Each structure stands twice: as C-alpha cells, then as structure tokens.
Structure 1
C-alpha cells in the first residue's frame, strides 16, 4: 500500500515537504521547502530530512517559493540525483531564488564562523554550496501545464495551473497499485479567484485523496476594489503626515501585484507625487521573468496594462526607481518624505527591508504596510501582533510607525475559495489539510463539515498514513 509522510507544512505554513512511497513509483517528494522564521543557520543545522536523500526517486515541485523549494540544494548536496519536475516558468524562477538564498546563507555562515573562530568554538560546515544550486537546476525538468509525464509504467502525473504565482501548479498523480487505479491531488498553494495578473486556480473533478493547503482557512480576503481603495487611503494619509511607506514584499508574485496596483493608481491620477523604490535585485530579476512568461498570466490584466515583450511591467510607473546596488539602496535614506519603499524579505527575516526599518520604523509619520501572510516566529508576525520594541542588528528600536495590513493582496485562496475548490470533487475524496496553522485548519474543517458533510484530517509533523 502507498504511504504518505508529512515532513513539513503540517499544522504550520512553512517547510512544505511530503514523502510518498509506493511499489508503483518508489519514493517521491512533493515539495522540498525550507522552514521560514528565525536564523537560517540555526534552521539548517537543526532541520533533518528524516529520510535518506539518496533513496528519493524524484521531486515534484508545486512552485518556486522558498518554503516549497528552498531545501532542494541541500537535498542534492546529500546525494539526491533524480529529476526535479516543475513547470518551465518555475525553473526560471528557481534560478534566481535558490541562487539568492544560497548567497545569503554563505555570507551569514561566513560571519558566524568568524565569530566562532574569535571565541575558539568549532566552525560550522556548510549544509550546501552554490554549486549544489547549479546542480539542482540542472536536475530540473520543466513541463507545460496539462502535459502528462510518465514516472514509471504504473505511474504518471500532470500539472495544473494553481493561480498562486507564476508557474505554480496543482499536482495530479495517477498510479496503479495491486490492480487498482488511484489518484492523489496535491493543491500546492492555491491562488484566489480574480487575483491580479494570475489566472483562477484550475478545478479538478476526481481524486481518491487530496492534500489541500489551508493557509487562510479561517478568513476571507477583501476584493480588488476595496483593497485598492484601502491602499489609496493609507497612502493619502501618510502623504498628509509627511511620512514614508515601507512595504516588505515577496520577490515573486506580491511585488509584481503591487506594481500593478500602484500603476492603476498612477493612471487614475490618485498616487500623489510618491517616489517608488523597488529595493530588491531579486524582485527586479523576477519581474523580467514575469515579462518572459506573459502568456501564462491573466489575459484581462495584461491587456489592461497593454503589456507585451517590448513594454516592461514597471513602465506603467514612470516614478519607479530600481535600486539594484547597495549604494542605490542606501541613497533612499536621503529621501526625507514621500518615498514608497518595496523591499524584501516578505516576512522581514532578512534582506534590505530591515535596513529601512532601522532608518524609519521609529518615526510616527511613517507607515509600514504588510501585504502577505506572516508566519509564526518571523519579525513580520511580531510586528503585526503589535510589538512596540524590536531588535535590529543587535540594537533595540522603538516601533512608532503606523502598522497596516492589506489582506486583499494575498496570493492564497480565502476560506470560501478553498471550500469551493474542494467541493468540485465528486465523489468526495479523502481530504488532508496541510500548510495551515491549527486555528485556520479547525475553522476550515468546521465549515466543510457543516456545508458539505466533509470530514478532513489534519496530520501533525512527521505523521504517516496509508493511502
């Protein structure tokens, strides 16, 4: 019998990793994500795979976000040499994201080992290197949506558009075991309907088991009109106060969505005279990838922007400045008022956004806008929860900036979207909730039972079950 082990994103929203085992296809990983929150060196030192990477036959990747892909180089470093299946657009994004993550890790490790050397402590060995990133990319096999890929004589899978970020996929795995046909569907991260730039997530009709994300299982998102109005109000109020705006943003998806919304406000003459700084070399590179794969994006939105391969997305924002170098980033500090700074990381655990906090978070005239989910243990979550004192680079800072959250920017389906998506399966499959915190999962489970008489399971970390 096939078994599935939940090795990450079980009653939490990071570290997506699920191990499938069957005589039909061997051992397959659905995602190989990194846990986010806390220090990356400590995470990599403490996180074990709980399996031998050399015994894994293949990885099927839902999308490029690091909480789904970030440990691929470490998997390769420890001996995995099989194929990594994902969409072609995801391969392009991985080239950027995994390389950037490896660079940050190597720099942090170098600093940590210098500290250890001064203290006479044992030096840490790298858990992976940049060459492991290059090897992982080499092992990627990019596929088109709806392209069936045979794994073995008895197993094949197909990727469907998840509508979450560029290249994101729902995995449909079909296999024959002991003379019986079986189908497992892994939602990956599902996008919301009518999301900016993205197509709606695909609806599938049949499965024996569904692994469904539940990030926002306990809440709904504002619609596009309300979100744009809220953003406009926040910007107008901050402009009147003579302040600046800081927006921690994920390089993939969220940044491009923000540029779209700001472009809409500019076209409508509602953006005042803000100077907009995209202070993220990775987000700039990712925006170029979005332009390359424009055919995968929503036709309605790209037509609205008159977007084509000759006209970059950010051209719709003539007051946008791309801060590529560290000098570009530091120069933003000289802008006393009227700056919108979009920078990574999205959960504030690293990146240039922390340097902007250092310059501006103590000023009551400034505004900090969160546009994405903040996982437990991250600096972003601490700020969203109302912390008035934080530490940055070892120094204490008083939080006086206004804190705002724009839920309508989420790239995840809200509760109703999840309920509608799972309700398309007939007959009802066995449903397993993953990638969600317990409160969100309980709320979603209760609604599914009330409306569809659908009982779900919520596995804990490292739990296994027979399929």
Structure 2
C-alpha cells in the first residue's frame, strides 16, 4: 500500500494551505485555503486545481481562516461532492466567512470589470459567489475534539485543540497499512498558549510524521499575561490620542477583532484611556462577534470573555456601506476596526485612502502581514502607496502591535513539536516564509531532531511515506516559481516604480528637467524592451 503526501499550498509562504493525502486509491485533503499576498500568488486562486478533484473523497478542515478554508466553494464547483469534516465552531464560522469571501469577490470583480471594459481588457468571473459559499456548507459534517472519526475504510481522524482561534484544531490522521498503522499529525495553526481568550494547544505524542506551521518560526514574542498585554495596548492608544486623530485598526475579523474589542472596552471602562466611540466596520467581524458571544466559552478560564461587549454602549456595529461612508465626517478621537487585517480587500482600503495622508491619524496593525500585501508595505515603512490605482502619501503614524497574535512564536512551535515526540519519521515545516522556516528548522535541530528528518517542501512537492520512512515522490511540476511564492512580485515593483517616477517628477527643478527625465526614462525603457524581446543565444 502506497501512502503519498503532496503539499499544494503554504509551501514557502503563509497562505493557501492544502495538503493531499493519498492511500490505496483514496484521497483526502487537509484544508483547501485561499492564497493571499502578491498578485502573482493570488492568481493561483483562479487557476485549475493541480489534482483531479473527482478523486478527492473528503476534506479534513483544521479551522475557518480563509487561508485554510477559502477555496472550498471552488472545490465544490469543480466537482467535489464529499464530506468536509470540521468542529462545530469552525462550521459556524465558515458559514459566515465563506459567504463574506464570495460577496467580496462578486463586488470586486464587478468593479474590476468596469475598469477592464473601459481599458478594452477582457472581463473576469469571481472564483465563487455568495450562493456557492452557502451551498458548500451543506457538505460540512461535525466532529468532536478527542473523538476518532472514521473518514474512509482504514483512515480515521482525531481532532485536537490547537489554541488558535475558536474551533481550531490539529488533526491526527491514522492510516491502516499492510506494514502497520501510520500516524500523521497536521498542526493547522498553533496558538501561543497561556492566553485568557483561548485554550492551550494540545495533541498526541509518538506520531510518525508531523506537519507543522512556522508563521513565527524565526522570532520570539513577549510572553505577556492579559494585564501586561492590555498595558501595551493602553500605551499605543494613549500615543494615538496624543496625535489628535482617529485610530484605524485593520481587522482580522475572527478572534483578533473580538479580543481587541474586549481589551479596549476594559481599559476604557477602567479610565486608562479617554472614552471614545468604537466602530466595527466589518459585517463579517460583526457576525463573528455574535458567534463568539454564543460559543466563546474558554475551558481553561471557565468563562466567556465576549459576553459583555455591548454593555458600555460604546461599541457601534456598521453593517451597511453607507454607514461606513458616514465616518468620513468624523474628526478627533475615535476608533475604527475595518476588514481586512492585511489591508488587501474590504472596507479598510476606503478608510486608508482618506486617513493615510493625515498626520493626526494612527494605523495600528495587529497581526502578521504577508509579503506583498498592502499591510506589509505599510509596515515596512513606505512613504507612498497605491490603493486602487490612486497614489496616497503616507503621513499617518504606522504602528504594529504584536502581542495579540494567535500564532505560537518560535519557542512555542519548538516546544509543541517536542511534545509530540518521539517523532519516528519526518517533520515537514510549512506555512512560513523562507526565513521563518529556516529559523524553525535551526531550533528543531538544536532541540535534538536530526537535520535529515526535517523537510521544507516546495509548492506541489510530494513524498511517499512508508511507516517512518520518507522519500521524494519524483519530479514536480511547479505552478509558480519558488522565488515568487514569498516575495513581492512585478506588480509590486511596477507600483513602486510608478511612485518613484512621480516623486522624481515632482522634485524636478522645472518642466524642462521633467521632460529630460521622461525622455531618459523612455530611452531606458526602449532599450530594456529590445533586450527582453531579443531571442536567447
């Protein structure tokens, strides 16, 4: 019996996780996530799947984040009719998150097609619609933590608490083979542990192979309790208040928004920061908040910290676009949370366009910003950015708050892997940018795992598993060059070049100097075009 494991996403980047496990003619996917980041990477969302969808028997879903669940409706549209196994909370969150993703695609494609028609370019279709998202929910089947579920003959799955977001799980897969059982553990996204809003991560020991995320595999974060975390947040908000203007928090709609709201309202009620209206400008985050108020019970603290978010009367839900637009009239001290968390889509881009140029405004980034996203460009210190084709000068205070991450840091990941030992076979490091994966590998080697038993798979690379033994599955057809997986692409470079050209023209002494600059630019461009079109020797 041949067991084959292939990685179709989050291999060298932090989004689009999808692993395909094949055994004895059957196949399951672990997650089916959407790519985020550069336009080159996101283009993979529109392409055909790199496998025969008709041969997929089931999906095992670790959690609801779009980079793990976001292509499930597309999978259904391509012909997948099997079950999708998930915890009850993950199912509830997917019900709103996938619908939101479908709605955003419909809206953005509608706007894009208007621009394409004006430019004489072909129109495009959304990856899937809100209706598709609703339909795929019919395929979800609920699993309970710690209870083995029979998925296929000879294949069982046990879900373990991951401590990441509500409903998130690591998935242990056990395969019955002629040589004996083979146990694999897919980490999903691992939480940091010790948090008052989420349970600590858990999992089995003595597995054969571990597939582990590495988002923060190369860095340590402050190990803060709730009081210390709120102290950091308090100082950030006091500094923002001193600047005189509003605070814009790009919102990760699930978990991060709810945790920040709970802490902001707590320190506001305690008088540590001036009172202000808080606008939650994300229909998805609003619906997620309502789910957290129902399902947010923390077994560790025996409480639901999200029950009383409305008690102070400061929190305002903005469900309609016209309510969002009305914030343009506001001045002075107030707080806005708007999706998306990496500034890649949604209402936050409208707020950025009207606030980035203001010195009194503060943009508070509250989570990981993937390479190529607008959030990452702002975090890296850009003085000017392009939003929907419009160049915006960045004068606002750009701040990054790293104490709310729902991901374990390097030590947390290392300790989690060690607790799963002894690992008889291979440790596959996924879901991280190159430096993060290398950083985690270095730490695991220092923790006693032999270097040859640690693999950093590339996109679409496969492995044949035989008990504790692993070998490469053969030649791989890569959908995307390795250098483009976790790096700014030519779209980012083009936007940067246009901004630089505009700045140079603005700084030129007079119109004659500007004409000379443009002439030199055209000459260089003509020479570069000739070189690019020349046949290879």
Are 2:343 and 1:345 aligned? no
Kindly indicate whether structure 1 or structure 2 has the higher relative contact order, using CA contacts under 8 Å at least 6 residues apart. Answer: 1
Offset at 1:124?
Answer: 2.7
Q: Give the SS at the match of 1:397.
A: strand
Offset at 1:298?
Answer: 4.5
Q: Which residue of 2 aligns with 1:446?
A: 442
Q: Can you list the C-alpha shifts for 1:255-292, whole angstroms capped at 9, x where unaligned?
A: 01101211221232212122211111110100111122
Offset at 1:39?
Answer: 5.3
* Alignment check: 8 A CA contact 1:196 1:257 kept: no
Q: Which residue of 2 aligns with 1:184?
A: 184
Q: Which residue of 2 aligns with 1:292?
A: 294
Q: Can you list the C-alpha shifts for 1:181-231, whole angstroms capped at 9, x where unaligned?
A: 110000000011122411011132121000000000011222234432221
Relative to structure 1, is the Cα distance of residues 41 and 122 closer, same or farther in structure 2, using a 3 angstrom cutoff? Answer: farther
Q: Give the SS at the match of 1:409.
A: coil
Relative to structure 1, is the Cα distance of residues 376 and 141 closer, same or farther in structure 2, using a 3 angstrom cutoff? Answer: same
1:67-466 aligned within 5 A: 67-222=67-222, 223-224=224-225, 225-295=227-297, 297-300=298-301, 302=303, 305=305, 312-429=307-424, 430-455=426-451, 456-466=454-464
Q: Which residue of 1 aligns with 2:9?
A: 8
Spell out structure 1 runs of 4+ moving beyond 6 A: none
Offset at 1:70?
Answer: 0.5
Return the alpha-carbon distance in structure 1 between the equivalents of residues 280 and 463 of structure 2: 45
Q: Give the SS at the match of 2:403.
A: helix
Relative to structure 1, is the Cα distance of residues 126 and 346 closer, same or farther in structure 2, using a 3 angstrom cutoff? Answer: closer
Return the alpha-carbon distance in structure 2 between the equivalents of residues 161 and 387 of structure 1: 39
Relative to structure 1, is the Cα distance of residues 288 and 54 closer, same or farther in structure 2, using a 3 angstrom cutoff? Answer: same
Q: Which residue of 1 aligns with 2:20?
A: 19
Return the alpha-carbon distance in structure 2 between the equivalents of residues 42 and 447 of structure 1: 31
* Alignment check: 8 A CA contact 1:40 1:105 kept: no
Return the alpha-carbon distance in structure 2 between the equivalents of residues 42 and 183 of structure 1: 33
Offset at 1:42?
Answer: 6.2
Return the alpha-carbon distance in structure 1 between the equivalents of residues 230 and 450 of structure 2: 35
> With structure 2 as the length reference, what TM-score do the two structures score?
0.82
* Alignment check: 8 A CA contact 1:266 1:317 kept: no
Report the RMSD for the aligned CA atoms in angstroms: 1.9
Q: Give the SS at the match of 1:182.
A: strand
Stretches of structure 2 lacking an aligned partner (at least 5 in a row): 466-537
How many residue pairs match? The answer is 459
Offset at 1:395?
Answer: 1.3
Return the alpha-carbon distance in structure 2 between the equivalents of residues 452 and 184 of structure 1: 20
Relative to structure 1, is the Cα distance of residues 418 and 45 closer, same or farther in structure 2, using a 3 angstrom cutoff? Answer: closer
Return the alpha-carbon distance in structure 2 between the equivalents of residues 200 and 277 of structure 1: 30
Offset at 1:12?
Answer: 0.7
Stretches of structure 1 lacking an aligned partner (at least 5 in a row): none
Q: Which residue of 1 aligns with 2:51?
A: 51
Bigger radius of gyration, 1 or 2?
Answer: 2
